[in-house]
Structure 1
Amino acid sequence: MKWTGLNELREMFLSFFEEKGHTRLPSYPLVPQGDNSLLLINSGMAPMKKFFLGQETPPNVRVTTCQKCIRTPDIEQVGKTARHGTYFEMLGNFSFGDYFKHEATKWAWEFITERLEIPKDRLWVTIYLDDDEAFDIWTKEVGIPPERIVRLGKDDNFWEIGAGPCGPCSEIYFDRGEKFGCGSPDCGPGCECDRYMEFWNLVFSQFVNDGEGNYTEMEHKNIDTGMGLERLACIMQGVDNLFEVDTVQNIMQHISRIAGIAYHQGTPEQDVSLRVVTDHIRSTVFMVADGVVPQNEGRGYVLRRLLRRAARHGRLLGIKEAFLYKVCDTVIDENLSAYPELEGKRGYIKKVIQNEEARFEKTIDQGMEMLSELIDKMDAAAIEAGKAVLPGDDAFKLYDTYGFPVDLVREIIAERQIALDQDRFDELMDQQRARARAAREDMGDVAWVEDVTATLDLPATEFVGYGRDEATAKVLCIIENGEIVEQVGQGQQAILILDQTPFYAESGGQVADRGAVSGAGLSALVTGCQKSATGGYFLHHIQVQEGVIATGDSLHCAIDNDYRQAVARNHTAAHLLQAALRQVLGDHVHQAGQLVDSHRVRFDFSHFSAMSGKEIMQVEEIVNRKIMAAIPTDISEMSQQAARDLGAMALFGEKYGDVVRVCRVGDFSMELCGGTHVQNTGCIGLFKILSESSAAAGIRRIEAVTGTGVIRFIGEQTQQIRDTAHTLKLQNTAELVHKAESVMAELKEAGRKIEELSSKLAAIEAEGLFDKAIQVGPVKVITASFTGTDAGALRTMGEKAREGKDDLVVVLSTVVGEKGTICVACGKSAVAAGLHAGKLIKEIAKLAGGSGGGRPDSAMAGVKEIFKIDEAMAATPDLIRDMLA
């Protein structure tokens, strides 16, 4: 075998199957397109389901891909072994009703033995127990000796997931040699040891399972194969695991240089950390590139979890500062040949990861301190015996309040042989999800409609609304309360499916059209329109005003054109806004979501910090200049590839058809877009940004108005200025700024005087404390309690009392409402004698259900059980004696 690099292997595979008549498709994004059953793409077959199920027509009956994949079920094992990883690439060749077993097996053998020149005597094949057809093909046509074919049962060599297409599979194994074996005489393919590595699985999809164990032969059979690229590289490079493959090892070496620790030259624990960081940075770079941002749920949580686990293992390697964003460059460079789009997203990827590292730095210390306190409170004997359990409520609080990932909690406590009450944690998570679902229940009534529309066999609705605002349509179906009905009458609400429609269905962030349908003696308002998940139906939500609407009726459909134009103004403005943001902030800006209706533009975009006032003004000016230029908008249809070749921008994760609409505004903006737009930018009138804020980690949000919305905004702002001037008793609004500055100066001076008086009062009260001092060893101790004194005054009082008295320890408490605070201040000689204010206050606060900390000479703590403060203060001298002992 010739040593072959991972990138070269990928190209060899794809080129080989192109020679066999396959169409090479690029890797699909890790975010599933139009498939809500997966958080992230986890196999080469996953994006192909739509072709296997007949939901879409493939570009060719033969397809080959190298698909990016993420799998996280075993995330806690990643790093602990050399076999587990979360990111990998899956090579595959697929046949949709074209070739079958003969070609699949023949070509697989040809590629690995002739193109890769893997020795035949090191290859083994497994087949399904009863698949005699596969056995004959392998032995009689391919020429594999029968003794090198192993028959395995359904668990190993039959692919199926519930009801639907399924079939036997055949796996190809590489014999790594006796040194990797278990020594058992029965050792062979399928053994749990590391000797026989399965690297290519050929799935022969030839049956349909009805879900009750009955299998029917398919008329058009399919082929689905999957070969792990990293596993293949291990074989071709003669290395033991994926972390030693060339491209992956280059990433690890970058991490090693930062940490100053080489792989296999440190401790086993350091090797674990190097593997964790290497795997997780590969995953996160590709997830961010495909539009995933760190969040606390869904795929965003997977990303956050991986990044934070990697950051923690960086700390275990001794890396104190943010470093993952630096390693991004090596990940990108190692993968550019296959994924050139990474170059254009380099800056964006690095910034998202750097921001998340910084965010984690702020939470990890606090979370670690809390976790340490929780562990300290646990029964030491139970920990020693390995029977200690961290309550699920505590783990959930760490996650929900402080953003501390539960897998990190689990990993950290496992190092102390402490278990987690996972059931209780899961219960609390389920309750949180239930609350989130309840909050979303008012999002519309499309869900119950989908169950009905999935059973319909009707022609798809033809949308004619790009060029027309009226049309005559036939009623194909009426749905009321989730049931198909023949007619609906006055006062009823229902959903209509028409043969054609001018009503734009809500999609792409643009709201649906409104309007009316009418006929002889009947009329109804159209309040919304949505697309069905399958079938291509437009679902018109109506409220019948007069008469009866029945299936088969011919209706006159008319949109509310004023409403449509208001929405169109905002939609075209959103395109101008994105182009202006990229011009001012940089090319890392991409749309991350939008909502355009008749009132406003809400635009989410990738960026890492709040925009300055100057930047907002620049963006506004650019957009308004384009509006005043009255640039015509050009809408054209073309193939998706042609649009991308032109440089048209597309939305992360959006599903586009083979033919797409491209909206161009001169040479300023060009985007894939199925929405409605104005004829020229002058129709927008004006553009004004109302707010700029954070929408999520690495995502900013702008809300803006156009046209009459700007006029309305100016009117409201003018009235507010007049009202403010009236409140300040001004006759002329031109004096408003001067008056506001004058009022603020007066308030500042009043605050200074109050603070000065508070300090004098604190000093007077402090002087009276010395009469209460008691001697404890080499130090004098003062304790006192107050009611209604704020925490700042309490600290000032303690520091004033300590001034010039090196041997003094001052312990003060206050209660304000239901909140208690304790302050400790230590003089210099008291600290030299062994006292530490931060440690002392921690022990005092514990007695009143609180926590705190601070410097050796000054510390503060908050307490929950205020009724125990007196008891805690009384115990202070004894605590000081213990600390001095």
Structure 2
Amino acid sequence: MKKYGLNELREMFLSFFESKGHLRLPSFSLIPQNDASLLLINSGMAPMKPWFTGEQEPPRRRVCTCQKCIRTGDIENIGKTARHGTYFEMLGNFSFGDYFKREAISWSWEFLTKTVGIDPELLYPSIYEKDEEAFEIWNKDIGIPAERVFRFGKKDNFWEHGAGPCGPCSEIYFDRGPEKGCGKPDCTVGCDCDRYIEVWNNVFTQFSNDGNGTYTELTQKNIDTGMGLERLAVVCQGVDSIFDVDTLMNITNKVSAITGATYGQSHKTDVSLRVITDHIRSATMMICDGVLPSNEGRGYVLRRLLRRAARHGKLLGVSGTFLWEVCATVIEENKNAYPDLVEKQDYITRIIKVEEENFNRTIDGGMSILTSLMEAHKAKGVAAFPGEDAFKLYDTYGFPVDLTLEIIEEQGFTLDRAGFDRLMQEQRTRARTARAALGDLAWAGVDLGLDNTPTVFTGYDHFIEEGRILALVSDGELCSSVRTGDEAIIVLDRTPFYAEMGGQAADHGTISSYGNMFKVTSVQKNKGGKYLHSGVMVAGEFHVENTVTAEIDETRRRAVMRAHSATHLLQKALRLVLGDHIQQAGSLVEPDKLRFDFTHFAATTPEELQKVENLVNNAILDGMPIKIEEMPINEAKKMRATALFGEKYGDIVRVVSMGSFSTELCGGTHLDNTAKAGAFNITSEFSVASGVRRIEATVGQATLESLRQSRSMVFELAGILKANNPGELVQKLEQHLGELRELRRAIDAYSAKEANGEASRFLAGARTVGDLKILTAAIADADADKLRQMGDFLRDKDDSVVAVLSTVNDGKITFVAVCGPAAVAKGVKAGELIKTVTKLCGGSGGGKPDSAMGGGKELSKVDDALAAVDDFVIEKLGL
């Protein structure tokens, strides 16, 4: 058997099944599309669920893919075993009601034994114990002796997840030799040791489970097969683990070159090298598909992977950032299969570097706190690290709980996970309550009882459309009619209303017929493509099957179109000014207002924002025609059309071109000329997440209204400042500010003179203690600055002075203490004196030997505090 490289094996598999009439599809994004049940794609069939269930028509009845997958259920075992990895590639061939068991089994055997060249004597099939059809195929068609076909029960060889489609499996195992085994006399296929490893799994979806254990035969039988690419490479290359496969080992070699750690040196070092290799591979692929680090969902998975990898780098002696360097090797090893990696290399590298830098700051601060906590608990003999402490580290300092767990276990602690989970649940409950206050789309899950024919959207070209009511929903239930005052949802067969998606706000308007009218305030589209018009029945009543006229608010739609077209111009301008790494991370397009989130790693300067705004306005003033075309995705790529990051597009896409300035894939509504957008004005720019900035802007009437308000304010200011016209505003303002400064200087000079005069009178009445002059005074209607000024005057006026002054404002006492040079020389220091005085009033203070300040709370104790000054001086002088 030839030792094929991983990249060779991928191409061999896809080419083989292309020769069997399969359509080769590129890997779907790791971000699930229209599937809330998954955080990340974790199997080859996951993106194809609608094709298996019949919700959607597949592009062909036979399909093959190499699907990128992420699984994090065993993340703690990564690096410790030969089998576990968070990122892997799943080779798969699929049949949607076309071929079945005979073809699936024979082709799997042909590929492994003929194409790859694996010795048939080293391969062992398994079947579901009751699947006689599969046994017959293996035994009679393929020629495998009965004793070499292993029968297993439901747990191992029957695929099902609750109710729905399910079926038996047939797996193929490879014998790695007795040296990899456990040594037990009965060691055979199915043993938990590393001798026999599964390389192929054929799933025969032929039944439907009603959820109560009753199985009925499906009319459309499907084939879902899968084979881990890395596992196949382990077999072909004769290596011990997935980490020894050529592409992964090249990544490990890069990590070794940076860290100085040698693979095979020790188990601990190997674990760290494997963790880094696996996690940076996963992170690179996730970022390429549009995942950004965050504290929830798939973003948290990414952040956790990067932080675990960074920490293992620290365990290997790395002090700075390094993962971004390894990223280049990951891309080099995978660029032929996934060319998007090269296109987005700069972006991916920046995300990783910024996240690593942020984590270094987090871990430096968090580690010192965690170390202190562990020392305190050790001193008390506490073996279980409190959940409250772990939660505070996570919630306040951003220190990941899994990292806390790893570190405390190294120090012999266990974690009170129940306590941590309880606090996390309380936090989630608070978040759910907050979300509930914003409203709920409970109707989204209503079964409309309709076929899978999507609503026909005509709103690109029409503002009015005649349609038929297919379904009505009120109070979360299907109904046959709605009447005046009812809040409801109307489903039409045809509509001009744009549903909220792609960041564009939904259309508003009316649905009417012969005096009956429904006011539409929101439109959503469900998974089946049905448009759900939400609103209220304002007059009359509607029934299912009524023919109605749907009419959008044209003025509002045109305002939304202005904002949407301006958003495209903005994205292009940002890329021109800030760089090609700029990617859209979200948007909201409303009437004449837009919000645009983009990936960038520093605040934009005022100069950069001005350049962006100028570019957009120049594109508007140029009056460029806006052209909208539908074309194959490959043609759009040739035009270098910008795609929404992480979005999965079909074979035919909609391309929006604005002259030669901007070309994007977009399903939204647009103007026909950039000039119609009107003036573009950026109103704010700020950070919304690590590496993500947000720009808010206006166009059209919103910009004009802002200008009107600004102009009105300018004229109002001109009137207040008695300027003849707005052009004189600056001159008038400078004149008034100059006068104010002169008045302030005069007031300050008078106040200083008054304070110094008052201080002189106090000094004249000072008491003599030893060689020092002691004075105390309560000053009315003073502030801290006046007290400090009087104190400085007294100290500078007489070397032997010891003075404490007080004042009361808003129920709080302020004290100032000063000591002249002669007093300080005799051991009488203002810093010590102020502590004594303020303590008597329930307060505190401090300062230098010659000057100090403090405060107190107990107003009734002010006189006692001032009286204590003499005793303090006498004690210090030893009198």
SS in 2 for 1:378: helix
Q: 1:452 to 1:154 in 2, by over 3 A?
A: closer
Trace 1:518-557 onto structure 2 (pairs within 5 A). 518-534=512-528, 536-557=529-550
Trace 1:748-759 onto structure 2 (pairs within 5 A). none
Q: Does structure 1 residue 669 correspond to structure 2 residue 662?
A: yes
Residue type at the aligned position of 1:422: R
Unaligned runs of 5+ in 1: 775-780, 802-811, 819-885
Q: 1:128 to 1:615 in 2, by over 3 A?
A: same
Aligned to 1:861: none
Shift of 1:330: 0.5
Q: 1:787 to 1:449 in 2, by over 3 A?
A: same
Q: 1:377 to 1:545 in 2, by over 3 A?
A: same
Trace 1:151-166 onto structure 2 (pairs within 5 A). 151-166=151-166
Shift of 1:724: 6.7
8 A contact 1:770–1:782 mirrored in 2:
no
Shift of 1:726: 7.7
Q: Does structure 1 residue 464 correspond to structure 2 residue 458?
A: yes
The worse-fitting range, judged by mean Cα deviation, of 514-523 and 348-357 is: 514-523
Give the TM-score taking structure 2 as reference length: 0.84
Pick from 558, 561, 565 the counterpart of residue 554 of structure 2: 561
Distance, in Å, in 1 between the alignment partners of 2:573 and 2:392 is 42
Unaligned runs of 5+ in 2: 753-784, 796-815, 859-879
Q: Does structure 1 residue 733 correspond to structure 2 residue 729?
A: yes
Residue type at the aligned position of 1:299: R
SS in 2 for 1:294: coil
Distance, in Å, in 2 between the alignment partners of 1:132 and 1:550 is 54
Distance, in Å, in 2 between the alignment partners of 1:428 and 1:684 is 50
Trace 1:261-300 onto structure 2 (pairs within 5 A). 261-265=261-265, 267-300=266-299
Shift of 1:111: 1.0
Q: 1:39 to 1:489 in 2, by over 3 A?
A: same
Residues 119-146 of structure 1, C-alpha deviations (whole Å, 9 max, x = no match): 2222222211122221221121112232
SS in 2 for 1:17: helix
Aligned to 1:90: 90
8 A contact 1:765–1:797 mirrored in 2:
no
Shift of 1:42: 0.7
8 A contact 2:721–2:729 mirrored in 1:
no
Aligned to 1:479: 473
Q: 1:746 to 1:279 in 2, by over 3 A?
A: farther
Residue type at the aligned position of 1:12: M
Shift of 1:356: 0.5
Shift of 1:359: 0.8
Distance, in Å, in 2 between the alignment partners of 1:185 and 1:328 is 46
Aligned to 1:807: none
Q: 1:782 to 1:99 in 2, by over 3 A?
A: farther
8 A contact 1:282–1:331 mirrored in 2:
yes
Distance, in Å, in 2 between the alignment partners of 1:575 and 1:242 is 44
8 A contact 1:772–1:782 mirrored in 2:
no
Q: 1:372 to 1:97 in 2, by over 3 A?
A: same
Distance, in Å, in 2 between the alignment partners of 1:41 and 1:123 is 29
Distance, in Å, in 1 between the alignment partners of 2:170 and 2:736 is 80
SS in 1 for 2:317: coil
Distance, in Å, in 2 between the alignment partners of 1:509 and 1:346 is 26
Residues 384-407 of structure 1, C-alpha deviations (whole Å, 9 max, x = no match): xxxx11121211111111111110
Trace 1:322-471 onto structure 2 (pairs within 5 A). 322-380=321-379, 382=381, 388-453=383-448, 455-457=449-451, 459-471=453-465
SS in 1 for 2:427: helix
Distance, in Å, in 1 between the alignment partners of 2:582 and 2:154 is 49
Aligned to 1:844: none
Aligned to 1:488: 482
Q: 1:406 to 1:559 in 2, by over 3 A?
A: same
SS in 2 for 1:440: helix
Residues 15-71 of structure 1, C-alpha deviations (whole Å, 9 max, x = no match): 111111111110111101111111001111111211111111111111111111111
Shift of 1:783: 11
Pick from 570, 573, 576 the counterpart of residue 577 of structure 1: 570
Aligned to 1:189: 189
SS in 1 for 2:848: helix
8 A contact 2:442–2:476 mirrored in 1:
no
Q: 1:629 to 1:217 in 2, by over 3 A?
A: same
Residue type at the aligned position of 2:628: I
SS in 1 for 2:447: helix
Give the TM-score taking structure 1 as reference length: 0.84
Aligned to 1:680: 673
Q: 1:195 to 1:817 in 2, by over 3 A?
A: farther
Aligned to 1:714: 707
Shift of 1:696: 1.5
Residue type at the aligned position of 1:537: K
Residue type at the aligned position of 1:714: L
Distance, in Å, in 1 between the alignment partners of 2:732 and 2:464 is 52
Q: 1:270 to 1:765 in 2, by over 3 A?
A: farther
Distance, in Å, in 2 between the alignment partners of 1:630 and 1:773 is 80
Shift of 1:371: 1.0
Shift of 1:664: 1.2
Distance, in Å, in 2 between the alignment partners of 1:417 and 1:303 is 28
The worse-fitting range, judged by mean Cα deviation, of 70-79 and 372-381 is: 372-381
Q: 1:315 to 1:557 in 2, by over 3 A?
A: same
8 A contact 1:168–1:204 mirrored in 2:
yes
Distance, in Å, in 2 between the alignment partners of 1:341 and 1:291 is 11
Q: 1:710 to 1:238 in 2, by over 3 A?
A: same
Distance, in Å, in 2 between the alignment partners of 1:261 and 1:759 is 65
Distance, in Å, in 2 between the alignment partners of 1:788 and 1:290 is 62
Aligned to 1:246: 246
Identity of aligned residues (%): 52
8 A contact 1:509–1:594 mirrored in 2:
yes
Residues 706-756 of structure 1, C-alpha deviations (whole Å, 9 max, x = no match): 0121122223334555667788898842237857997999999999x9699
Q: 1:513 to 1:217 in 2, by over 3 A?
A: same
Shift of 1:519: 2.4
Q: 1:43 to 1:240 in 2, by over 3 A?
A: same
Distance, in Å, in 1 between the alignment partners of 2:278 and 2:253 is 13
8 A contact 1:773–1:783 mirrored in 2:
no
Shift of 1:417: 2.0
Residue type at the aligned position of 1:471: E
Shift of 1:261: 1.3
Residue type at the aligned position of 2:848: M
Distance, in Å, in 1 between the alignment partners of 2:819 and 2:328 is 61
Q: 1:742 to 1:641 in 2, by over 3 A?
A: farther
Distance, in Å, in 1 between the alignment partners of 2:214 and 2:738 is 86
Q: 1:664 to 1:443 in 2, by over 3 A?
A: farther
Distance, in Å, in 2 between the alignment partners of 1:194 and 1:816 is 74
Residues 51-98 of structure 1, C-alpha deviations (whole Å, 9 max, x = no match): 111111111111111111111011112123333211111111111111
Q: 1:624 to 1:148 in 2, by over 3 A?
A: same
Aligned to 1:647: 640
Shift of 1:239: 1.0
8 A contact 2:335–2:342 mirrored in 1:
yes
Aligned to 2:75: 75
Shift of 1:433: 2.0
Distance, in Å, in 1 between the alignment partners of 2:453 and 2:6 is 47
SS in 1 for 2:224: strand
Aligned to 1:500: 494
8 A contact 1:786–1:813 mirrored in 2:
no
Distance, in Å, in 1 between the alignment partners of 2:703 and 2:252 is 54
Q: 1:227 to 1:449 in 2, by over 3 A?
A: closer
The count of aligned residue pairs is: 792
Distance, in Å, in 2 between the alignment partners of 1:516 and 1:627 is 32
SS in 2 for 1:552: coil
Distance, in Å, in 1 between the alignment partners of 2:75 and 2:482 is 54
Q: 1:747 to 1:571 in 2, by over 3 A?
A: farther
Distance, in Å, in 1 between the alignment partners of 2:85 and 2:740 is 59
Aligned to 2:848: 797
SS in 2 for 1:32: coil
8 A contact 1:127–1:151 mirrored in 2:
yes
CA RMSD of aligned residues (A): 3.2
